[in-house]
Structure 1
Amino acid sequence: MDQLIDFFKNLFSANDWPARWVCGEWSTFHGWLYITSDIAIWLAYFVIPAIIIFFIQKRHNLPFLPVFWLFGAFIILCGSTHLIDAVMFYWPAYRLSGLLRLLTAAVSLATAFVLIRDLPKLIKSKPEDKLKTYQLEKQLEKYEAEIIELKQRLNSKN
């Protein structure tokens, strides 16, 4: 229990470890390759949930909404681990990195569980567009039948 208390008490402390630049034999190219790659991955991982949120706001009555929120949280947390890896070249926040990884693992498992649980329902559900198309086709068939009937009445009067 003391280790857990110590962990959270020093969550943002970086005094116990050196920055990554001074750990090992990093060349400038190799270090910046890691930093820029991790920042680019982090950026993509933050843009994707923004797009998902935009999509959710534009589409009302979206089925399985919790799945979208879990995916968003999963993607943001994955991106956060890449950001902290880039930052650790200057600020060795290994405790914070460990906590982010634990949260990422928990949300990843929750997302996988919900997908496994909801997959049969997702497979059975009809996409809203297909349902609308089906309804429009039925309406069109009804109108076509009415047109044929009207034409027959007109022909019988002549």
Structure 2
Amino acid sequence: MEQVYDFISRLFEANDWPPRWFCGTWSEFHGWLYVLSDVAIWLAYFVIPAIIIFFIQKRRNIPFLPVFWLFGAFIILCGSTHLIDAVMFWWPGYRLSALLRLLTALVSLATAFALIRDLPKLVEEQPNDLLREYELEKQLKKYEGEIEELRKQLALKNNE
């Protein structure tokens, strides 16, 4: 238990290790290739959940919504491990990296279990049902717009 307390209390300390640039014999090209690749991966891993969130907000009644949120958390945490790997070239935050990796592992397992749990329901889901629901939502929005227009016309007539 003492090691756990020590780990947590020193989570942001990095004086136990040198920055990655000074571990081994990194050439400038190899180091920057590593850093820039990790930063690019991190950026993609943060854009993808943003797109998922945008999609979730635009669609109503999405089936299996918790799985979407788990995917988002999983992707963000995966990206965070790449970001910390890039940062470690200057700041060797191996404790924070280990914690991020533990969180990534836990959320990854939760996502996998959720997919295993929901797979039979996903297989049963009929694409036509989703398409029909989408078409009904489009019609509903069209009718709501028409109703609103009729209300405006009625209000104008009442004000005359």
State the TM-score, normalizing by the size of structure 1: 0.82
CA distance in 1, matches of 2:84, 2:134: 47
One-letter amino acid of the structure 1 residue matched with residue 110 of structure 2: A
For 1:36 and 1:133, how far apart are their aligned partners in 2?
A: 41
1:15-54 paired onto structure 2 within 5 Å: 15-54=15-54
Q: Once superposed, what is the RMSD of the aligned Cα atoms?
A: 1.5
Q: Equivalents in 1 of 2:133, 2:95: separation in Å?
A: 51
Give 1:134 deviation, angstroms.
9.4
The TM-score, its normalising length taken from structure 2, stands at 0.81
Match of 1:70 in 2: 70
Mark the runs of 5 or more structure 1 residues left unpaired by the alignment.
136-158
Take 1:103 and 1:133, find their aligned partners in 2: how far apart are those partners?
36
Higher alpha-carbon Rg: 1
**Structure 2: how far apart are the matches of 1:103 and 1:68?**
17
Alignment of 1:1-150 (within 5 A): 1-127=1-127, 128-132=129-133
- Which range is displaced more, 3-12 or 123-132? 123-132
Residue type at the aligned position of 2:112: A
The Cα shift of 1:126 comes to 2.4
User: Unpaired runs of 5+ in structure 2?
Assistant: 137-160
Q: In percent, how many aligned pairs have the same letter?
A: 76
Q: Deviations over 1:93-129 (max 9, x none)?
A: 0000000000000000000000001000011122444
Structure 1 counterpart of 2:54, one-letter code: F
- 123-132 or 3-12: bigger deviation: 123-132
Equivalent residue pairs, number: 135
